[in-house]
Structures are given as structure tokens and as C-alpha cells.
Structure 1
Amino acid sequence: MANEELRDQLTQLHDELEKAKNISREERDVFGNLMSDMVKIAQGSEMPEEHHLTLREKLEQKESEFEIDHPRLAGVIRQVLDALNRMGI
């Protein structure tokens, strides 16, 4: 169930990124890499514990950066973080 929830949140995150107009190419690349890692987690791939921490830290940083200019995107990132937390990541 948690993996399914994470996949749903990732779909929503992807949709919000598509709607966001003024996100740089570099930011989109960062999100692409983060989403790739999260898809692996949602599919049940094992990843080292320290990688989970780095993933969370990067997501938390992005959530903070987008809070003002992209509040909907920041909200979706919070939901992804919540889903990862429920999975123990």
C-alpha cells in the first residue's frame, strides 16, 4: 500500500512539474534524478540507507526552495516526503 501511495504522489509531482513554467532546466534535471530514485524505491528496489537520507535531504531542500514561488509543488513534495516517511525512508 505504501508503494502504491508513493507512486501516486510521484505522478502528482510529475504533473505539477509539468505545470510549473519558470523552473530551470537544471532544477528539472535534479527532480528527474530524484524521481528516478523514488520510482526505484516504489518498485521495491533496495537502496543503501545513506542514500535514503540523501534523497530525503534533497527533497526537503527543494520543498523549502519552492515554498514561495511554487506552493502547490512544495505541497506535493511534502506529500512525497510523508509517503517516504510512512515507508520508513
Structure 2
Amino acid sequence: MKLKLDLHDIYNKGDQIDRALRGIIDEAIRTKATEVEIIPGKGSGQLKKKVLRFLDQKEIKALYHRIDKDAKNHGRLFVYFKHK
């Protein structure tokens, strides 16, 4: 199962971004999704950096397996999960 989160609509609302990211991570765990596609968009890169900082937090990092950056589209990330 794959989930998708597009951040274009809330790109300038920091608190909503964190809630949306936490929500999609929680949903991936609850539904045992194997992949989450996060779309921060291309822009200046600041939103992508914010997403990566969020995902790099110790308590969040413990919840997923790995992150891949799309080589063909630098405006999206993939977060992969391994469920027991």
C-alpha cells in the first residue's frame, strides 16, 4: 500500500505541515503502508529541507526504514516502512 501527501496547499503554514507529516506517518503505521510519497514541490527547496528535518527527528526516524529522494524529480521524497 502506498500513501501520498502533497504539501503544495500548506507550504507556508509551518504548524500544519508538521501535523500533516505526523498524520501521514501515523496513517502509514496504522494501515501498514510500505511507502509514503511526500511532495514538497520544487520551489526554493526550503519546504523540502523542513520535511527532511522533520523526518530526521529521533522519535520520527525510529518509525520508518529509509528515505529516498526522487532522482528525476527533486520535488518529491519517498519514505519506506517495514512492518513486523
Structure 1 length normalisation: TM-score? 0.36
Structure having the larger proportion of residues in strand: 2
Of Structure 1 and Structure 2, which has the larger fraction of its residues in helix?
Answer: 1
Question: What's the TM-score, normalizing by structure 2?
Answer: 0.37
Higher RCO, Cα 8 Å, sep 6+: 1
